[in-house]
Every structure is written in C-alpha cells, then in structure tokens.
Structure 1
Amino acid sequence: MSEHFGGRSCAEPSPQWDHNVTMRMAAAKRLALARAPLYRGRMLESLYLICGDDEYLVSTKAQERVAELVPPADREFGLEIIDGAADTVDAALAALRRLKEAMQTASFFTAQRVIWFKDVSFLIDNVVGKSTAVKERVTEIAELIKAGLMPGQILLVTAPKVHKRYAFYKACKSAGKIEEFAVPEKAHTAEAGAKTRAQTLIKEAGLKMPAAAFETFMARAGVETRSIVNELQKLSLYLGDRREVKTEDVMAVVCASRSALAWDLADAVGDRKLAEAIGIARQLLFQKQSAVGLLIALENRVRDLMIHREALEKGWLRGRDTHYKWGNLPPEVNAAMSESMTRDPRATHPFRIGILGEQARHFTRADLRRCRGAVLEAHRTLVSSSLPAAVVLELLLVRMLARDPANPV
C-alpha cells in the first residue's frame, strides 16, 4: 500500500509537479528555437546529406554549406570534421564512434556547431558496409537522427553513394535535406549533362572554344566535373593571354581520361589504325579498365558505323572530309530512327557525325558485319575461356582491322 502525504499518493504526480515539467519542456523548446541556425533571415535545416559520384559537385556543395553555416571566425569550435573514408571495418567503427560522441556532446563555446561526417564510404553494399557491426552502428546513428539533434547542432554528411533502402538514408530524408549529384547511368544523358556544365565552366574561365575544339575536349576530358575543371585550368595556363582554344591546343594539353581513352580506342578502330588501337587497348587494360566494357564500346561503334555506312550508300547521308549532313529519309526509316532507336543518330553533334561518316568510308557493309561477329565471338571467349583479356582483345583488333588484300577498301 502506498504512503500518502497531504492526502495524496506519492505514486501520483502533483499538479505543481506536472506544471513544472511542462514549463521546463516549453523552455527547452524555446531555447532550441532560439538557437536554431539562421542564414539571411531564414531557418536552416539541422541535417544535410550531400551525396553522389560526381565528386567535384559534392565537394563544392559541401564547401558552400560550411561557408553558410559556420563563419570563419567560429570554425575552431563551431566545426568538427570526422573522416568517414574507411577501408576496413575497424576504421568504419572508429569513425562511427567519433560521430556518435560528437552528436551527444553539447556545444559550449558557440551558439551552433556543425559536425561534418566527410566522404563516408560504407553506406552502400561494399565489403565494409555489409559488416554486421558496421550496420548496427549506422542504425544507431539513424536512431539518433530520428530522435532529433541537440539544440544548435547541425549534421552535414557527404558520401559518394548512399543506399536508399538503408534506415540511415530514410532518417536523413525525414529529418533534413538531401542533395544528390550522381552521374547518370545512361552514357548519352551523362554526356549531355557534362557538356552543359563544361560550357558554363568555359565561360567562367573566360575561354572561347569553337565546336570542333569543344567536341575534342569533351571526348578527352570525359564526363566527370573534376576532370573538366582540371583540364580547363591547364588549358587556360597553356594559352596565356590568348583566350580562343584550338583543337590542336586540346590535343597538346588535355589528358585523356579512361572513358576518353575508350573513345579513342573506338576512333582508332573506326580509322582502321591497328597499331594505335592495340597501344590504347594495352594502356586501358593496364589501368584496370573492364575488358567487357571495352568490347561493349567497340560493339557500339560498329553498330554506329553500320548505320552510317548504309546511309552513305543510300544517299541519306552526304559529305566529305568530316563535313557530313543528313538528308531526307523514307518515312519508315525516319520512324525507325525517331522511335525505335535508343538514340537517333541524326541528333548527334555535327562534328561527331562527320567523324562517323568519314570512318564508315573505311569499311564495306560486309566488313562491318564481320567486325560485329568478331566482337560477339570475343565476348563469348572472354567469359567462357581462360585466355587473358589482353590476348582476346588484341586478336579481336587484328581480325577487325586487318585488310583483305583481295578486297581493299
């Protein structure tokens, strides 16, 4: 039986006690709102997740967020950076322990504090991310986020990739703002986006780049924004006071990325330059480029050349010396190109159309059918035999590009 004081059970809270608790909770809420971060008069989020495989855009956006959240004078105590790049399970667990401690520690020296969990590498199904221990700790962080961050605290997370099925991603989506900068999976979509960004960056650099130079630049620099920025900086230094970029400037200065080298390999095949094609293939394999990926790139180029070769023979495509133009097509062909193909070949940049038209002249339609068969056979050999990838690829290039003395093109 419970004891009574003043006619009231000690198991029951008094009205005065209820009132005090309510007042304290209201005061805590007012304090949280008073300490909530503001920027130019507007309320900021308490959590930002910035992710994507375009490393430059992720990094740039993160720096912008830090600049708006933490004045330079407050960064000694108002910004804590925790490195989330972890190659091992132990490193990931250590980073998560530091993050949890930071999230549970109040800020005593500044009105608000930003915790930047930077370059987190284990929020996907990789070896470290699949670890049971890591998953449990990440779930703990997600629960802390759901419960609400401490007053005046802002969590900034940057990562190359985050699995959207994970509780962590869902917690971030509910509690704050997610900004994604992913390179599109479809090559033509990625290329279009990269070209738009490159044109903006070229203007910002004060450079002028004619169409031919621009297409050559994009073919070599690739679709990654960081590569585009770096190569434009090199070009600007190389040109000095001169501001117009020529194709020869691009060839002299801009390094070919792995994706650009794959394009160069396809161009060497299209130009029937066997020695150059073998050299590029060896370099790509040395750089750990996927042999299957290279075969797919070659198959795509053969398909493009087959389309352009047939168009040349039927008069749908006319021109010489890289200056080519599509003419009127029969209705059924026009419908097939517009509706059935993944990408209408007529929508390609005129510079590329010129290159493909000229390359198509190096092959007969029979040559191209033989090349396509050789690529498919090489793919079967690669996945079903123990032959080294380099041997399979070089034999393929010889079969594709060796000319038939009885029928020279």
Structure 2
Amino acid sequence: MAAAKPFIFVCGADDFLVNRAGKARFEELALEVTDEFSREVLSGFAGNVGEVETAINRFRESVQTVSMFGGKRLVWFKDVNFLADTVTGRAESTLKLVEDLKELLETIDPEQVTVLITATPVDRRRAFPKWCEKTADFLLVGGDGDSAAEALAGVVLAEARELGVNFGEGALQLLLAKVGANTRLLIEETHKLATYAGEGKPIEEAFVAELTPNVAEGDFFEAAEAFFSGDLKWTLAALHRHFFTGGDARPIISALQNRNRILLQVRALIDAGDVRLGPRGLDGMPKAQAAYGKHFVGATEKSSYNLFSQNAWYVGKLASTGKLPTLRRLIDNQQEFIVAFGDIVKRSDEQEEVLRDMAVRCLSA
C-alpha cells in the first residue's frame, strides 16, 4: 500500500473553482476529524511581504499544535495568493519565506495532521509548485493556458450533468459567449436554465438567448439584434420599447458600433477569401488569425476592435444572423452612428427620434 502523501495541494487559475474544490475536500476530510477544535481554517491571502510572513507563521503554529485530546488535526491553508507572478510573489523575501514553507511541509506527519492548501493563481514555472506536484496529493483545477475555454465548457457540462439536464445545439456556446470567463456566474446561470428547462429536458439555445444577461460582450440589446437583421419594423419597435422604459441612446449606439466593427472585419476577410460562412459559423478563423493577428500588437483583451479576441462561435453567430451587409453598407453604418451621436448631444431630449431617423436611413437604403 502506497504511503500517504504529506499534504494536499489544490491550485488553479480560477479562484471560484479552486475554493469550491478545496471546500469539498475539507468537508470530506472533516468526517475523519470529528472534534471541531481539531479543525482549523487559516487565510493565506497576502497583500505584501509582511502579510506573507504573518500568514506562514500562523500556519506554522497551527500545524505544530498538538491536538488537545490526542487525535488527528485538520488544517486548511486557503486563499494562498503569494505563489503567483506578482510583485509580492516575485519579491526575494517572499521566495525565501516560500522556501521556509517548503521545509515546514517536509516535516509534516500525515498521521498527526492533515494539511490542505488551496492556492490561486499559481506560477507553475517556479520550484515550489513543481515540488508540490511531485510531493503532495496534487490537484490542478480548471486547467490553464490555452485549455481555459475548454475547461470552462467542461465545468458547465459537469454541472449540467449533476442537475440532470444537457445542452441543446448551440446553447452551451451561446452561454459561454454571453457570460465569458466568469465561472461563478456560469454555474449560477446553468442552475437557472436547468430549472427553467425542467428535469431531464435540454437547455435550448432560445432559453439562453432569452434568460441569460450578456455580461461578456455587452451588446445583446434587442435593438442591435433587430438592426443587424435588417428588419426596420422590428428595429423601430425595439427602440420604442427601450425608450419607453427610460433607456438612454448612448448604450444603443455603443452596441451598434461594437457589432458593426466586428462585422466590418468579418466582411473584409470574407471578401478577401480568407474565411467563409458555413453551417457551423465562420470557417477559417485560425488561418486568418495566423495571417493578420500580427497587426493587433498588444490588443490581447476582448475588444470589438480586434476580431481575433472574440469568441469564434459568437462571431460566426453574429455574421450569420440575417444577411451580412456589404462592406460599403457597414462603413456607411459607422458614419451614421457618428452623426447620430452628434445629434444626440445637440438634441438630448429627442434621443428616440434621432435613433429612429438613423435606423430609417440605414435600413431603407
């Protein structure tokens, strides 16, 4: 029988997933340590080197404390953040303290004390995390690097299975596009959608479109959907509903500009033959990014100015909604948005009229 690992180390890039996994492991271990006075939870969160030292000293005192009744102790060192590639994490004093922590962990007797450490984020290039991976009962939660998107999808699918539901065609991709890399909200939305769908029923794409707020992109306004479908009647009705509830014109113009910028880039690539619209969305994006991504130097954040920073499925969905306008029409749209913004500044009490006139000019051409 293999010897017990000296401690448990759970880490990952997503604090919600790491904390959830740590809590589940702690509750499991607590079943073996029934004396609540023998269980201790310590914070490893530190904003500077001094706080790192304080946290490690508290941890040292805890693991070296003998149980009052002679049984095993359980110590959870949670929210450790000084193993990251940050100013605090890179400091020489911190690195020395981490080396002290390693020496302390090497002395732990798992028969006397069970130690659980949860850390996020972690610079896995460093010696300490590598040592933990070899020495501890090690768990990397959620993946990292290029697998982050797949990891998020895996988390959502696992949550759906626990709830007894699955996702219909396009529903999971739309959920990821609308929410983005917010694990907590993805799980909450999955619970909401599962309740709406009903046990054993699939979560349909239409449910996600109707019930899930657009946190990631910020442009799922009905007016934007209607405008780019080319339906003038729907657009005017959506604008009326927006202003009837006290809405402002500026978020609508922002939504239209963001969508239009993305479609301008898509149309240019399609006209150049670099990508094409297929049954599953936009085909050829990786090849196009390899050819043109160099022109977006430094633009790594998600932005409508950089097509390649967008969710590929989402881009294909936008481009295939209705008829994709011509490049000339998209350029004219952008000019119309600028004119409308100027008119709103001049006629702030006639915002709906300004946007209605703009929509008529764009969609009647």
Equivalent position of 2:109 in the other structure: 150
Letter in 2 for 1:233: H
Q: Distance in 1 between matches of 2:149 and 2:286?
A: 25
Written as runs of structure 1 = structure 2, the 5 A alignment for 1:318-397 is: 324=279, 353-358=316-321, 361=324, 363-366=325-328
Equivalent position of 1:261 in the other structure: 218
Tell me if structure 1 keeps the 8 A contact 2:9–2:117.
yes
Equivalent position of 2:150 in the other structure: 192
Tell me if structure 2 keeps the 8 A contact 1:308–1:360.
no
Letter in 2 for 1:150: D
Tell me if structure 2 keeps the 8 A contact 1:308–1:357.
no
Tell me if structure 1 keeps the 8 A contact 2:333–2:362.
no
Letter in 1 for 2:266: D
Residue 67 to residue 55, structure 1, CA distance change in 2 (3 Å): same
Quote how far apart the aligned CAs of 1:99 are: 0.9
Equivalent position of 2:302 in the other structure: none
Tell me if structure 1 keeps the 8 A contact 2:80–2:119.
yes
TM-score, normalization: structure 2? 0.63
Residue 158 to residue 217, structure 1, CA distance change in 2 (3 Å): same
Whether 2:101 is the aligned partner of 1:141: answer yes
Q: Distance in 1 between matches of 2:253 and 2:3?
A: 54
Residue 367 to residue 215, structure 1, CA distance change in 2 (3 Å): same
Q: Distance in 2 between matches of 1:99 and 1:68?
A: 21
- Counterpart of 1:56 (choices 16, 20, 23) is 16
Tell me if structure 2 keeps the 8 A contact 1:311–1:317.
no
Quote how far apart the aligned CAs of 1:229 are: 1.4
User: Partner of 1:128: helix, strand, or coil?
Assistant: helix
Equivalent position of 2:268 in the other structure: 306
Quote how far apart the aligned CAs of 1:82 are: 0.7
Whether 2:124 is the aligned partner of 1:164: answer yes
User: Partner of 1:105: helix, strand, or coil?
Assistant: coil
Q: Distance in 2 between matches of 1:127 and 1:172?
A: 22
User: Partner of 1:211: helix, strand, or coil?
Assistant: coil
CA-based RMSD of the aligned residues comes to: 5.0
Written as runs of structure 1 = structure 2, the 5 A alignment for 1:12-51 is: 43-51=3-11
Equivalent position of 2:51 in the other structure: 91
Quote how far apart the aligned CAs of 1:256 are: 2.9
Residue 163 to residue 75, structure 1, CA distance change in 2 (3 Å): farther
User: Partner of 1:118: helix, strand, or coil?
Assistant: strand
Equivalent position of 1:202 in the other structure: 160
Tell me if structure 2 keeps the 8 A contact 1:305–1:359.
no
Letter in 2 for 1:46: P
Structure 1: stretches of 5+ with no match in the other structure: 1-40, 284-293, 319-323, 373-401
Tell me if structure 2 keeps the 8 A contact 1:104–1:150.
no
Residue 300 to residue 98, structure 1, CA distance change in 2 (3 Å): farther
Quote how far apart the aligned CAs of 1:406 are: 10
Q: Distance in 2 between matches of 1:335 and 1:119?
A: 37
Q: Distance in 2 between matches of 1:75 and 1:366?
A: 73
Equivalent position of 2:339 in the other structure: none
Equivalent position of 1:116 in the other structure: 76
Higher relative contact order (CA 8 A, sep 6+): 2
Q: Distance in 1 between matches of 2:174 and 2:43?
A: 38
**Can you list the C-alpha shifts for 1:349-405, whole angstroms capped at 9, x where unaligned?**
6x86454233661x3235668999xxxxxxxxxxxxxxxxxxxxxxxxxxxxx8997
Q: Distance in 2 between matches of 1:250 and 1:140?
A: 49
Report how many residues are paired: 312
Letter in 2 for 1:306: A
TM-score, normalization: structure 1? 0.57
Which of these two proteins has the greater Rg computed from alpha carbons?
A: 1
Letter in 2 for 1:358: T
